[in-house]
Structure 1
Amino acid sequence: MNTAIRKLYLFIRAIPKTIYFNFKYLPLKKALKLPILVSHRVWLMNCKGKITLNCEHIQTAMIKLGFGEVGIFDQMRERAVWNVKGEIIFSGSGILGHGCKISVEEDGTLILGREFNITAESAIICRKRIVIGDNVMISWENQIMDSDLHPIIDSDGNRINEDEEVQIGHNCWLGSRCTILKGAKIPDGGILGAGTIVTKSSNKTMKEENHVLWAGNPIKPIKLNVTWKVK
């Protein structure tokens, strides 16, 4: 199947879920524009909570869910998961690529900035608050979570691992298979090497250092004053 035919095929298959999804979440005037294009490969596990489009100009298919191409994955068969009970705020256009898993619990808020791109097979688990800035590229098989999911209790009966907000600044690029854990804050312009783990304790090292290439476990600066761009 050539590229043009494949794209047409995927668009046609997306129509039923796209219509359902937009009219489920959005007010009528916004829903009619079908701003969120939903692939037929997305499993709508939970369509609860709410979606807010926090942008002035709303266009058809400005947000794509379950689309995109990464050469090492089978985009025709990989399945994305939408498990949302809380709130997702879209600040503009963006892509949640094929095979992405999005889970937002009832008290969780996920904020996605303008021109974000989550390429493939990445997972976001939000129980409190995760903020992703503008122009952020998240490569394949990343995991971002603001919770340990299971409580850890000390000898006095107190929980010692409460959920904590995650912040990813503007113009960041997260390489493949990075793990971002609760309480982590990635400064603007940050680039993470493949396999990097960022925790709350990493904040002491990263501080407010913008435009830095970070890598390693424990994390350390590799190169200062860097920027990145899509080819």
Structure 2
Amino acid sequence: MEIKDIFSLKLRDILSLIISIPITVYVNSKCLPFKMAIKLPLFVGYKTRIDKLSRKVEFGCEPKPFMVRIGWGGTEGRECGKKNYLLLNQNASIKFNGRCTMSSGISLILDNGRLEIGNNFFVIKTVQSLVMIEL
């Protein structure tokens, strides 16, 4: 989300953005080294429930503010405003190679293994559950 995008938001979305800043700062400080965390590349919506957070979050490109959005947005006609869940266990790592949006209602649970997400990744809640199993 860039500064110019903020001016096109509705009042409700602006308030949600402001309320989400504390949790966003917390997640960035827990998952990233200080020099990267102050750029706030991870934006986390205020309805996201946080469990364990690993420091094994990486970027395959130069991190930009709010580059990865968890619990924000959606599309017209889809369920928005649902709660999210974020768990990054110590045995798990995740790498973002560009912009990523996980809309409201999406949970990111990494217990073990490595997940790499490409550029311009967007996921909305359309199915009941998605399970990835490492063999």
TM-score of the superposed pair, with normalisation by structure 1? 0.50
Gaps of 5+ in 1: 121-139, 148-162, 165-231
Aligned residue pairs: how many?
A: 124
Alignment of 1:46 with 2:52, yes or no, is: yes
Change (3 A) 1:33 1:66: same
Tell me how far apart the structure 2 counterparts of residues 98 and 18 of structure 1 sit (CA, whole Å).
Answer: 15
Query: In the alignment, does 2:127 pair up with 1:141?
Result: yes
Structure 2, unaligned runs of 5 or more: 1-8
Q: Residue 49 of structure 1: CA displacement?
A: 5.1
The Cα offsets for residues 124-176 of structure 1, whole Å up to 9 and x where unpaired, read as xxxxxxxxxxxxxxxx22644333xxxxxxxxxxxxxxx42xxxxxxxxxxxx
Deviations 1:155-214 (A, max 9, x none): xxxxxxxx42xxxxxxxxxxxxxxxxxxxxxxxxxxxxxxxxxxxxxxxxxxxxxxxxxx
In the TM superposition, structure 1's runs of 4+ consecutive aligned residues that sit over 3 Å from their partners are: none
Superposed displacement of residue 27, structure 1? 1.2
Residue 113 of structure 1, aligned match among 96, 113, 118: 118
Q: Secondary structure of the residue that 2:28 maps to in structure 1?
A: helix
Higher alpha-carbon Rg = 1
What is the match of residue 86 of structure 2?
Answer: 82
2: CA distance, partners of 1:97 / 1:145: 17
Cα distance in 1 between the residues matched to 2:78 and 2:121: 21
Q: What is the root-mean-square deviation in Å for CA atoms of aligned residues?
A: 1.6
Q: TM-score, normalised by structure 2?
A: 0.83
Identity, in percent, stands at 24
Alpha-carbon distance in 1 for matches of 2:131, 2:52: 18
The Cα of 1:54 is off from its aligned counterpart by 1.5
Structure 2 CA distance, aligned partners of 1:146 and 1:15?
30
Which residue of structure 2 lines up, in the alignment, with residue 34 of structure 1?
A: 40
CA gap 1:72/1:116 in 2 versus in 1, 3 angstroms: closer
